[in-house]
Amino acid sequence: MKTFKTMIMGLALALAPAAAMAQDAAPAAPAAAPAAPVAGAEAAVAKPAFQHMAPTADIGQPIPGGFKLQPQVTQIGHDAQWMHDSLLMPIMTIMSIFVLMLLIWVAIRYRAAANPVPSKTSHNTLIEVVWTLAPVLILLVIAVPSIRLLAHQYAQPKADVTIKVIGNQWYWTYQYPDNGDFELVSNLLPEDKRKPEDGPRLLAVDERVVVPVNRVVKLIVTSNDVIHSFAVPAFWTKMDAVPGRLNETWFKAEKEGLYFGQCSELCGARHGYMPIAVEVVSDAKYAEWVRSKGGKMPGEGEAAAAPAAAPAAAVAAPAETAPAGDNVAEPAATSQPAQN
């Protein structure tokens, strides 16, 4: 009996260190528990929705009672507005006044009461030279800046952002191939859902085109059905969307803001309900918007892959050297039986 008790006491003493180690290791399990709430908190904090800007009065939209061009926000627009305001309008005004005064003078001077015996003059060399050369000189004055403007408009610089614009009856589709090739479908915003910050009536949309400021934006314009026309007056941009054909144009907006346009080619019953809204934002806001749409900025995929490749290479190096060490140790282990 004493021997049995001695064996039980010995067994208890042998198991005591294992029990103590188990008690010390037990609290380690609750330490991992807080990780779950942290992960849950991160999941609960959702990314805030992208905050679109509100339109600015008289900028990028029709001006009530206005009779001038919309304020331009591209260099081509500035050049075209200068040509319209400083060149074409003065020439047209002077010519119109000159012709009107000439008609009035002829009607008064050569009326029957003041000129009972009409002149029989049939030729006048000076007048014929003047009315031939004057129009030629006027056309040359107009042609030089006009050709320069057209050359600038069709000489596309290297694009920073490319957008494919597709016209449909009666909505627009936009694709961003440089940012993950995501797609937007833009429709007229119903009046019962439109808010003042969305834009004017018949111009507000449910999906805006968003582009970065001071960046060259290349537009590839086409159509799925009939001929449409993508036009934004504040950019001096207008390009027909023709089925089966890719037309290109570009713009570089110099000022942040919200700019509206419309389809400018008769395309069917709801032609007047195909508005366009382009929101010009900073580079940081543009990147934020792209990510909110599930896209990515150029180079983000490569940048994320590079850090992941470095740890993988570091892990692979020891793995490759490990078999060599094992091969060295094996002969020592197998030589012992040979000695015995």
What tens digit of pLDDT does each residue of 121-144 get? 788 899 899 999 999 999 999 999
Between 164-168, 286-290, 336-340, the lowest mean confidence (pLDDT) is in 336-340
CA 87 vs. chain centroid, Å, equals 33
pTM beyond 0.85: the answer is no
- Provide the greatest CA pair distance for the chain: 164
pLDDT at 175: 96
Which residues, 6 or more positions from 74, have their beta carbon under 8 angstroms from its beta carbon?
234, 235, 236, 237, 251, 252, 253, 254
More confident site: 213 or 31: 213
pLDDT at 311: 53
Contact criterion met (CB below 8 Å) for 210 and 155: no
Superfamily of domain 161-292 in the CATH hierarchy: Cupredoxins -  blue copper proteins (2.60.40.420)
Q: Which pLDDT band holds residue 275 (cuts at 50, 70, 90)?
A: very high
pLDDT at 215: 95
Average pLDDT, the chain: 81
User: Average pLDDT in the 86-103 region?
Assistant: 95
Q: Which pLDDT band holds residue 49 (cuts at 50, 70, 90)?
A: confident
Cα→Cα distances 248→192, 221, 298, 336, Å? 36, 6, 21, 81
Contact criterion met (CB below 8 Å) for 259 and 213: no
Residue 305 has pLDDT above 70, yes or no: no
User: Average pLDDT in the 43-58 region?
Assistant: 72
pLDDT at 33: 42
Element (H, E) at 29: helix 28-32
